[in-house]
């Protein structure tokens, strides 16, 4: 399925960016924002892969599971992108970008819960 392949590709990019930000955080001065951005990317890249695996096994409702996975990608990109831009450029992506991304990730986790509850048994 095309959406699954797209999400797997996004998870790979998120994982690579997460490792790069972890390295930048480890070698930079005050780079705590980068460490947080790295963690969000790495955790949610893994979550996307898990959701795809659960969808393939039929353990999640398809539409809700896909929505959750895309939410993980979008939310983590907003959150990490905002923190990274603040670190390197000194300004935010847009007002409330990080909290918006965080809220999207929280809602995506709740969507995973809903996807398992309404999945066909």
Q: What is the pLDDT of residues 35-67, one digit of tens each?
A: 999 999 999 999 999 999 999 999 999 999 999
Name residue, tokens 């990490």: 80
Residue 15 DSSP SS3: helix
How far is residue 119's CA from residue 105's CA, in Å, rounded to a whole number? 21
Residue range(s) defining the domain that contains residue 50: 2-117
Band (108; pLDDT cuts 50, 70, 90) = very high
Residue 6 DSSP SS3: helix
Name residue, tokens 């390197």: 88
Both structure tokens of 41: 């990317």
Instruction: Indicate whether 5 pLDDT > 90.
Output: yes
What pLDDT was estimated at residue 121? 67
Tell me, rounded to whole angstroms, the distance of Cα 67 from its chain centroid.
12
Q: How many domains does the chain have?
A: 1
**Nearest one of 52, 66, 19, 13 to 38, comparing CA atoms:** 19
Measured CA to CA in angstroms, residue 92 lies from 5, 37, 51 at distances of 31, 13, 30
Both structure tokens of 27: 């070698």
What pLDDT was estimated at residue 48? 98
**Nearest one of 49, 83, 96 to 68, comparing CA atoms:** 49
């Amino acid at each position: 399925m095309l959406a699954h392949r797209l999400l797997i590709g996004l998870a790979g990019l998120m994982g690579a960016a997460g490792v790069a930000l972890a390295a930048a955080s480890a070698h930079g001065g005050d780079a705590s924002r980068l460490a947080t951005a790295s963690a969000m990317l790495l955790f949610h890249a893994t979550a996307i892969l898990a959701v795809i695996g659960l969808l393939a096994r039929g353990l999640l409702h398809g539409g809700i599971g896909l929505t959750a996975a895309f939410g993980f990608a979008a939310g983590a990109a907003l959150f990490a992108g905002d923190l990274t831009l603040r670190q390197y450029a000194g300004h935010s992506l847009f007002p409330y970008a990080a909290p918006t991304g965080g809220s999207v990730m929280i809602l995506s986790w709740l969507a995973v819960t809903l996807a398992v509850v309404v999945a066909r048994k």
